[in-house]
Structure 1
Amino acid sequence: MPTALLLENVHPVAEQVLATAGWQVRTVPRALDEVELAAALDGVELLGIRSKTQVPATVIEKAPQLVALGAFCIGTNQIDLRAAAANGTAVFNAPFSNTRSVVEMAIAEIIALTRRLTQKDRALHDGIWDKSANGAHEVRGRTLGIVGYGNIGSQLSVVAEALGMRVLFYDTADKLALGNARRCATLDELLAEADVVTLHVDGRPGNAGMFGDAQLRRMRPGSILINLSRGFVVDHEALREHVLSGHLSGVAVDVFPTEPKAQGEPFDSILRGLPNVILTPHIGGSTEEAQEHIGMFVASKLRDYCATGTTTLSVNLPTLDLPHRPENHRLAHLHHNIPGVLARVNGVLADHGVNVEGQLLATRGDLGYVLTDVDLAYAPDVVAELAALEETVRLRVLS
């Protein structure tokens, strides 16, 4: 029975999906470091992680049997995608499943910080009755600046506008504005106008340190910053200074440059104890609904890839989805993207008198991927010859 390893408390529905499909599933409730992960992958064909476990090339190279890897989250920057592709390992993530949860948290924090609910809450816990309205505002009529207008940023745009906010956004890619949102040509333009700035950029290395002292200085006096994207995006030393100086009236941070690997481990940050600052332990997408959706979505992608070779929404392999008929055998051939590979594959099949019932090829960068359905009558030499082709990265016989 093939083995799958799920780390970091992936939702139990993922285990159910894979077990039903015939996989033996092992679970570990925390992230593993590089040495632990390399040892744990012995004999494992499917790996499921969340955001804490790093999967570098050094680990992937020690796991030639690893068929697929699922990131049960949005980001995949913790995985060496190029090394995974070179190993013939498909990678899938959950780009949409927790979008609503993150959006709702952003809205909650916008309201809480704008009304200064954090300080009212703390005062009452300290036994102080402070009913003053000083510094508290409605969000209606205020300007929200969204940095990163992807799945989360665009949906946040719609919800914020429904609350009566004016919405600006900035993205390096050309994105369609939803509703009455207005695109800003530069980040500086957005910072100069926004009362609330919320960050929803991805984990690409170029985004590291994109929000430092210079960007914080360009924000409007008394404005609010929310980071629900990546911990390395914001300079926390500079952020602390701008909170203490009063330049920023509120901050919410859900992601940190360094985060504990397991539940209950100690946490420290220079942002602790600051006024009107909300700190949360990377829970933007952590609702029961989102985690169940993610578990179902990613586990289903892993199951389908292993069973039929379907790579729809894979983040590192060419995209293919060839309808499968159970009366056929399916060969999945991942190869270097060199002209003539398909002809060589079909030449091998023709030499052995194997009839092709269906076939589909796609390429992505330096990789090509072909699914071929053949009739049931073919010699074992066919598989050996296809696997021995110089261009072959990985060959799988799926049925």
Structure 2
Amino acid sequence: MKDREIFCLNNISRVGTGKFRRGYTLTDHIDNAAAVLVRSADMHELQLPSTLRAIGRAGAGVNNIPLESCAEQGIVVFNTPGANANAVKELVLAGLMAASRDFVGGNVWVRENAGDPDIKRTAEKAKKNFAGVEIKGKTLGVIGLGAIGVLVANAAAALGMEVYGYDPYLSVNSAWNLSHKVRHAALTDEIYEKCDYITLHVPAADGTKGMINRESIHRMKDGVRILNFARDILVNDEDMREALSRGKVKAYVTDFPNTAVANMPGAIVLPHLGASTEEAEDNCAVMAVEEIQDYLDNGNIRNSVNFPDVDAGICQTEGRLAILHRNIPNMLSRITSALGEANINIGNMQNRSRGAYAYTLTDIDSPLNEEGFRNLQRIEGILRVRKVK
């Protein structure tokens, strides 16, 4: 068993790090680390050692990791999609309630009047200022039906809401898990026009940045309530402020504080609590550790954000080579030619590409000598070659 050092850049749940098998050691220094576990720490200015093979992000967002730079160095970056989905779902449901029943404002009133000796009587008069509506029978639009969006849609339907879901890239797995009560929306306009509540569950991309803006809000119902537990840049803050001020939007709940929303009247702003539960942190850590171990021990890639997923199981031949390379023509023929020149027979080969990068996992029937290994490394476009076995 190889001795591999793992560096934790943030505090990582011991439930997760306890899953490392014999041969893995947690280290206090990154210098000789084979892998890094990280949550929110910024890695963009961090000097990464030549020994580093993988980065495991215990969470979904990877804005804190230099993905392209890592790819060029042959470092596979993993995240943990879905591991914190239940935690976010539960907070979204709390956001639905907060947008409907002003218990936040009510709590503030009680605190401000805590010194009133007759607060019980006064509260009976004041509570009309915090009256709300029930969510049962109201219409919810869920934009984005990934792991979190599906859970939110199903839970809302179970609570008696009429739910519309929109996702042009709905996966087979999500489709299977989606309640039959959730109606399909062909366009976001259908969500905007029909729904009393709208919740966002899409990634940050060129097509989603600022998707909630003056134009889209104009197409919504008067008094719509909007929830954003996905990404801060999905909502144009200035347009949201204007819509809240004139009552077009009744309530805005967001998990992404900044100076604009923190001072926005009518907004309920949380300090990025979506995945902040013990269970979610444990789940993310366990998933990241399992991904890293499977990659380092077997060469398999699951849930990478800069290389394609490839799973060849456990190697049953004399050796396995993990080859990270650019996605360019004739690469496979060059790899097979180099192995042929080394008199190596290929037992199994899997190749996948993702954008500018590709990954080839090759099982070989006899060990590759050092000269053959160096010849592989010299091929133009090869980023890293690793002997897995």
TM range (shorter): 0.7 to 0.9
* Equivalent position of 1:363 in the other structure: 353
What SS does the corresponding residue of 1:206 show, helix, strand or coil? Answer: coil
Distance in 2 of aligned mates of 1:227 and 1:169: 15
Contact conserved, 2:322 with 2:387, CA < 8 A, in 1? yes
2:154 match = 158
Aligned-residue identity in percent: 28
Mapping 1:37-48, distance limit 5 Å: 42-48=31-37
Equivalent of residue 147 in structure 1, options 143, 147, 172: 143
List alignment gaps of at least 5 residues for structure 1. Answer: 27-39, 259-267
Pairing 1:271–2:267 present: no
SS in 1 for 2:82: coil
Report the CA distance between 1:311 and its aligned residue.
Answer: 0.8
| Amino acid across the alignment from 2:111 | H
Classify the secondary structure of the residue corresponding to 1:169: strand
CA contact (8 A) 1:77 1:204 kept: no
- 2: distance between equivalents of 1:168 and 1:322? 39
Question: Counterparts of 1:71 and 1:25 in 2: how far apart (Å)?
Answer: 17
Q: Provide the residue aligned with 1:15 in structure 2.
A: 17
> 2 CA distance for matches of 1:71 and 1:84?
13
Deviation at residue 46 of structure 1 after TM alignment: 1.9
C-alpha RMSD of matched pairs (Å): 2.8
Shift of 1:139: 0.8
The alpha-carbon distance between structure 1 residues 206 and 83, as it changes in their structure 2 partners (threshold 3 A), is farther
The aligned residue for residue 182 of structure 2 is 181
Structure 1 residue 142: deviation in Å? 0.4
CA distance in 1, matches of 2:107, 2:211: 32
Matches within 5 A, 1:321-336: 321-325=311-315, 328-336=318-326
* Equivalent-residue separation in structure 2 for 1:359 and 1:270 (angstroms): 52
Pair 297,393 (structure 1): closer, same or farther in 2 beyond 3 Å: same
**Partner letter of residue 225 of structure 1?**
I
**TM-score, length of structure 2 as denominator length:** 0.84
TM-superposed CA distance for 1:298, in Å, is 1.0
Q: Counterparts in 2 of 1:268-307, with a 5 A limit?
A: 268-272=259-263, 274-275=265-266, 277-307=267-297
Alpha-carbon deviation of 1:309?
Answer: 0.7
Q: Deviation per CA, 1:111-156, whole angstroms, max 9, x where unpaired? A: 2321221122222222350343874211110011112222211221
Letter in 1 for 2:38: I
Match of 1:168 among 160, 164, 167: 164
- Residue 85 of structure 1: aligned partner: 71
Mapped to 2, the partners of 1:352 and 1:47 lie a distance apart of: 34
Partner of 1:390: 380
Deviation at 1:189, TM superposition (A): 2.8
- Corresponding residue number in structure 2 for 1:117: 103
Whether 1:72 aligns to 2:58 is yes
Residue in structure 2 matched with residue 105 of structure 1 by the alignment: 91
- Structure 2 residue runs of 5 or longer lacking an equivalent are 114-121
CA distance in 2: counterparts of 1:156 and 1:311, whole angstroms:
29
Indicate conservation of the 8 Å contact 2:345/2:366, yes or no: no
Partner-residue secondary structure (3-state), 1:207: coil
**2:291 is equivalent to residue 252 of structure 1:** no
Any conservation in 1 of the 2:106–2:130 contact (CA below 8 Å)? Answer: no
Taking the aligned partners of 1:287 and 1:125, their CA distance within structure 2 comes to 26
> How far apart are the structure 2 equivalents of 1:332 and 1:378?
13
User: Deviation at 1:299?
Assistant: 1.5
Distance 1:189 1:96 in 2: 27
Q: TM-score, normalising length from structure 1?
A: 0.82
Give yes or no for contact 1:362–1:369 (8 Å, CA) kept in 2: yes
With over 3 angstroms needed to count, the CA separation of the structure-2 counterparts of 1:334 and 1:352, relative to structure 1, is same
Aligned-partner Cα distance in 1 for 2:207–2:10: 27
Once structures 1 and 2 are overlaid, which stretch shifts more, 354-363 or 307-316? 354-363
Partner of 2:119: none
Output the amino acid matched with 2:105: Q
Query: Quick one: which amino acid aligns to residue 314 of structure 1?
Result: S
Aligned equivalents of 1:52 and 1:194: distance in 2? 38
- TM-superposed deviation, 1:355: 4.2
Deviation larger for 67-76 or 285-294: 67-76
How many residues align? The count is 372
Deviations 1:333-368 (A, max 9, x none): 222334443343333333333344443333334433
TM-superposed deviation, 1:294: 0.5
Whole-Å separation in 1 of the counterparts to 2:43 and 2:346? 41
Q: Deviations over 1:180-223 (max 9, x none)?
A: 32233333332222111111110224322222233334332222
Given that 2:145 and 2:170 are in contact with CA atoms closer than 8 Å, whether structure 1 keeps it comes out as: no
> CA separation in 1, counterparts of 2:367 and 2:225?
67
